[in-house]
Amino acid sequence: MLPADPMTSKSKGIEPLLVRLADTEWHSGEQLARDLGLTRAAIWKQIERLRSLGLDIEAGAGRGYRLAQHLDLLNKIEIEQSLPGHVRAQLSTFEVCSSIDSTNAYLLREINTNKAPARVCLSEHQTAGRGRRARRWCSPFAANIYLSVAWKFAQTPPGLPTLALALTVQVVKTLRALGVDGAGIKWPNDLVWQQRKLGGMLVEWRGEVAGFQEAIAGVGINVAMPIAVEREIDQPWADLREICGDRAPGRNDLATQLIQALIEGFERFQWQGFEPFREDYLAFDTVRGKPARIVNADNVHEGIAQGIDDHGALLLRLGDGQVQRFYSGDVSLRLGNL
């Protein structure tokens, strides 16, 4: 029996073929066409579409097609059924896509008309993934986690500027619980391991006509980055395959745990603000006490990082002893000897 189709998509058509190829066995073009009710030409076009997404699909005369390496595909049913009941009760929509522009952008386009406050979007691939300051986020197909969770606030929560820090704490706690020892936070939104980038958080906001505010938290985590995309990344990075080896969590388990952590983080934050997350943030902060440079437009400020203030601003002790605050919107933090 074939596995259940793991994806609902905003880019229809390739999922049934991908499910059949995911076992890395050879599949003849004739059999694939017969099983999927397509012509051989249509199968070839879909193979080319999958290759355009970065998948390595081999073709052999008399044997057909196969994926060069196993894919740990996202499975919507498995993830949804693995979520605790109190988390599922908060969901108004849950989408798992094959390829979209970005999970954050998708949730920003849609409107939550339900009473349940949370919406979730996962995707195997993003064509326009974004990080902070509109930086491009490399999003190879079925290799990493690209997840966004939206939460509708009935009223403005306390300590609003620190929401992204609180949710980043939730992600690091999840990673550590799954065996990613040493995962930490580089202010304001980077997930790091041994000062190499493991992932990131992007929180965006929008107001709704009924007076509600909705936050969209996007998380990207490197799980098994293909060697072919290394040249596209302009900074030191790590992935779970390197860190955990055979103990690395599967993508479905990781997605489930992250969804639960983010929804529980939103719930706690809306009533208590950043205070419940403060102690963990201090424990996970990889910047505090280290030499740092803040680059702001054409200005460079050097000093020793002193943690954050109550509004989430980075505190930097300058050479003259003064402590200056920097907010995340328009600055870049770099660590290193002064």
Which residues are identified as catalytic? 132, 197, 334
Q: Are 296 and 334 in contact (CB under 8 A)?
A: no
Both structure tokens of 163: 């929401």
How far apart, in whole angstroms, are the C-alpha atoms of residue 307 and residue 160? 18
β-bridge pairing 118-123 and 91-97: parallel
DSSP string, 148-193: EEEEEESSPPTTGGGHHHHHHHHHHHHHHHTT-TTEEEETTTEEEE
Please check whether residue 300 is in contact with residue 293, taking contact to mean a CB–CB distance below 8 angstroms.
yes
Output the CA torsion sign for 66, 71, 76, 81: positive
Return contacts of 303-309, CB within 8 angstroms, 24+ apart. 303/338, 305/187, 307/282, 308/162, 308/165, 308/187, 308/281
**What CA dihedral angle connects 136, 137, 141 and 143, to 10 degrees?**
160
118 vs 105: CA distance, rounded Å: 16
Q: Look up residue 26 and give its amino acid.
A: W
